[in-house]
Structure 1
């Protein structure tokens, strides 16, 4: 019985790496759960390994908690699929998708094969851990993430975010006393219009008197 050493890295966070030793006779479910003991994620999420080419093109799928459509299709299941049954290359690669609801993608590569097991080690065994796995934001920890990312205040400033412009004059006065009384402005405009009308009327009367005086001559 051989020991496989797999290098597991996040596709989008390649600085986060785990190396895990696992028996060739163990299953993909054993590897799946070992990965998430090392990341801190819940293993009880629908996930899949895909036999992959060197260019990470997905092939046959090995699933955990598959949906009914995949079950009806006769998909391979992690709990019954031994690792050795899918190793065709000493550098075999698997593309791994964790949690289809909020997926993280991983690259899984076989980097070493040891022909003897260590009786003092319980497999799967975490050989190396580099980098912290990114946090998963969901309903259970959304508030906690918000507090940790903003320790000063957890209040969301809706007014600033929406570029709020108050319409009420009381709000304007409270924000600096520069409010404009639109009703008074309209009344002033009407008074100015009436004054201009009276001025034109007076001019017309003056012109009529001047014309009549010319006729007297």
Structure 2
């Protein structure tokens, strides 16, 4: 019985790598769960392997906990799919998407075929682990993570609750600093307006008077 050694890396975090030995007769579900024993993620998430080209173009899908539309379409299930049924190349590649709700994409590549099993090893077996898997932001802790990464947002929430409007306050403070009373200024403006109208009327009366003189 052959042993497959797969190299698994995050598509967006290529410094995080796992290498896993697994029996050729084990299933994609076994590989899926082995990957997440090594990342610390929950394996009970809807995920899929895709038979891939050398350029990571996705082909046939092999799914775990698929949504109903995939079931209706007759998608291949991981628990029913042995690895050796999908290995057509000694460097076979699979594109792997973990957790479709908040997905991480992986590159999975067959890097070695070992012809004999080791009776002292329980497969799947983690051969190599490099880098720490990135943390998953779940819906129930997203707000807490956002606040901790942007503490200013908490301050603005507090100010908004107090009906604080920074722009108006700055303008009022600036006017007060120059000794301007906004209420008096408004009253003065009304008086100036009245005076202007009065002068305008007087000028009109003077013109009428001059015409009578002539």
- Whether the TM-score (by the shorter chain) exceeds 0.5 is yes
CA drift of 1:206 comes to 4.4
Alpha-carbon distance change, 185 to 135 in structure 1, aligned in 2, over 3 angstroms: same
Q: Where does residue 157 of structure 1 map in the other structure?
A: 156
**Structure 1 regions of 5+ residues with no counterpart?**
none
Alpha-carbon distance change, 32 to 153 in structure 1, aligned in 2, over 3 angstroms: same
Alpha-carbon distance change, 147 to 199 in structure 1, aligned in 2, over 3 angstroms: closer
Matched, 1:98 2:98: yes
CA drift of 1:203 comes to 3.6
Q: Where does residue 129 of structure 2 map in the other structure?
A: 129
Query: Once the two structures are superposed, what CA deviation does each residue of 1:167-198 show, in whole Å capped at 9, x if it has no partner?
Result: 5xxx569x736468766544332211211222
Alpha-carbon distance change, 203 to 62 in structure 1, aligned in 2, over 3 angstroms: closer
> Under a length normalisation based on structure 1, what TM-score does the superposition of the two structures give?
0.81
Structure 2 distance, partners of 1:11, 1:108, is 10
Q: Where does residue 44 of structure 1 map in the other structure?
A: 44
Structure 2 distance, partners of 1:73, 1:202, is 92
SS at match of 1:194: helix
Alpha-carbon distance change, 127 to 199 in structure 1, aligned in 2, over 3 angstroms: same
> How many residue pairs get matched?
207
Alpha-carbon distance change, 199 to 69 in structure 1, aligned in 2, over 3 angstroms: closer
Structure 2 distance, partners of 1:191, 1:148, is 55
Query: Once the two structures are superposed, what CA deviation does each residue of 1:32-82 show, in whole Å capped at 9, x if it has no partner?
Result: 001111111110011111111111111111110112222222221111111
CA drift of 1:207 comes to 4.8
Q: Where does residue 59 of structure 2 map in the other structure?
A: 59
Query: Once the two structures are superposed, what CA deviation does each residue of 1:98-140 show, in whole Å capped at 9, x if it has no partner?
Result: 1111111111000001111112211111111111111111123
Alpha-carbon distance change, 165 to 141 in structure 1, aligned in 2, over 3 angstroms: closer
Q: Where does residue 107 of structure 1 map in the other structure?
A: 107
Q: Where does residue 139 of structure 1 map in the other structure?
A: 139
Structure 2 distance, partners of 1:141, 1:29, is 28
Structure 1 distance, partners of 2:127, 2:3, is 12
SS at match of 2:154: coil
SS at match of 1:176: helix
> Under a length normalisation based on structure 2, what TM-score does the superposition of the two structures give?
0.82
Q: Where does residue 173 of structure 2 map in the other structure?
A: 176
Provide the alpha-carbon RMSD of the alignment: 2.9
Contact 2:147 2:154 in 1 (8 A): no
Q: Where does residue 18 of structure 1 map in the other structure?
A: 18
